[in-house]
Structure 1
Amino acid sequence: MSHLDVIGTVYSGLFSRPSQPRLRPWLERLPSQLNEVFDVARNGNWPAWRSVLADLPEISASEVDLNADCIFIDGGCSEEVRTRIEQLLRRLHPWRKGPYTIHGIHIDTEWRSDLKWNRLKDHIQPLEGRTVLDVGCGNGYHAWRMVGGGAELVIGIDPTLLSVVQFLTVRHFAGDFPVYVLPLGIEDVPQGLRAFDTVFSMGVLYHRRSPLDHLLELKACLRSGGELVLETLVIDGGAGQVLVPEDRYAQMRNVWFIPSCPTLLSWLKRCGYRNGRVVDISKTTAAEQRSTDWMRFQSLPDFLDPVNPALTIEGLPAPIRAVFIAESP
């Protein structure tokens, strides 16, 4: 399977969607963007991952449940075929977002992403008929849940090619749903597109060197009156307080700004959003993020102070995550 095969078979339905004219400026340039990213010379792992995609058996799904906490896909297959599928899925280690059950194989991912979804799903605008962008979507777990919630079209973007290959694998077994994960970043979305009814940015803001620029990029993707759903790390504190780690945070190198909730609300207001509000604040625990057989590297329990789990191993406040909702003017 060449990258042109992937682009032509998986994404062709996106390029020609007549019901999203506001997306046209981006859709017209997407084929060349994807061709560049999937170029073998630019990613040495792509040939091995491509062989996984090429070897996936063709099994039509008789049951797909996108509203279950564990996304469920089944079509019936022999034990021999199931074993082969599991071998291929494990070649895409590590699986970070999920969980999934595919033809009887339970993928116990590092993150219980369903917990995050359940914290926010009752606070957002109903997704029925909406065009949605999911920024930093990983392998697309939440994007599948958005389609399960009735979205007309969901586009996820994530520059991590392994995550995109995992999405393509799930989509191979699930079938043709209006959900696409693109190996792109927010900077690849045309400026001022203003095309989406809802934009999600979950677990991204603290990785951006300029958080206000990220908020402005997200706003530029939203139509007037569209909804931003933002999930990020926060600290306890009042207006103006923000943590700027000097080096690592919970062993992550690329964490730049962790604001208090009042500070982030003020950033949203400064960037022109309306009706910004906090709908959930939750401590991250090992029930939500941990090592598993499908993600065998270190995870949250290894990143906390073994004596005082209220601190990271760097002595900083342990992870607290909050969900914010705001409207585009």
Structure 2
Amino acid sequence: MDPSFHEARWKSFQPKPRHSGYKRTKFQRKLARNPYARALATPVRRCPITNTSLPSFFLERFNLVSHPETGKPWFLPNHVSKATPAEDGLLKEGQAEQEADSTASTASTAQKPSKDGQEPAAKGYKGLKKGPSAYILSRQTLLQELQNPQSPYFKAQRRLLRMSDHGQSKLTAALNAATWRTDMDTVLLELQRRRAVEGLRHFANMVEDEGRKYIVKCESWNDVKNLKHRGCVLYLGPAEGASSEPGPEYVPPRLSTMDLGPHGAPLVVHDLRELLGKEYLARLRQDSELLRNGSLFMLGRQATVNLQGLLWKLQGYMAWGEQQATSGAHNWK
């Protein structure tokens, strides 16, 4: 039993390594830590409503799924279709709203027995039957225009997946009967805010329990320049019970950039009071002692890249035009 013989014999049967054996260059490592470069590197997709082609990061993906109880086709955001069954109750919440307009059709579909004479069993979200998907520009204003009778985009969600039809009668019938929630813009906003709060709470807990440095508290804007692992700056407003203490010298708008000059590249500054809203910000501070006792924080390191991208996408989703979404670059001294 020669070990060298068996090593040579089974060498070609060893599983291939999951990662390349080549060491990444400095540029590749820097690129992997940049959420904005990663956003631009996503595959280009087209929004059939606005005829806009952009990297898919700037679009919202919708899946055509079957309702777990009625079997009726619904357009469901990809946030929900790949989440846990108890994520949002999106289909069940919207069912009552849609039944007001289509009571007869919904009731007949819900009471339709199966071939064996039994009532169809309710399925969890993990059992949703998913169909094709389509992309829409990720802007809250666009989703609101879909419900505005005076807008050229009124009910333009009917164009989704029409280019993929190719005369398929089953898909045509499903698209004609598909349900679209009238409050879809608010649903997407709530989902993205919830994801952001979950991510911030997760990293804040790791800082408190394990001593990690994903979120670093800053006493002033000058402290930001002294930090090494920079991602984006989070402004939460005055800390609870600390109204009499001096806070940061400058209160940023909802989205702005911090010009570090020779200290490094500009940093994005997120005003979480506007980005998350009062309810979610209060919930975040209630669940995290770290975020409860400060107003200015640095979110950094590579593990937070996806969360930084989510905050950036939420900023784009909430953009309301130049006159309402104030942004700019500032020199901090």
Q: Highest relative contact order (Cα 8 Å, sep 6+), 1 or 2? A: 2
Larger strand share, 1 or 2 = 1
Same fold? TM cut 0.5? no
| Greater Rg by CA | 2
Q: TM-score, normalised by structure 1?
A: 0.25
Q: TM-score, normalised by structure 2?
A: 0.25
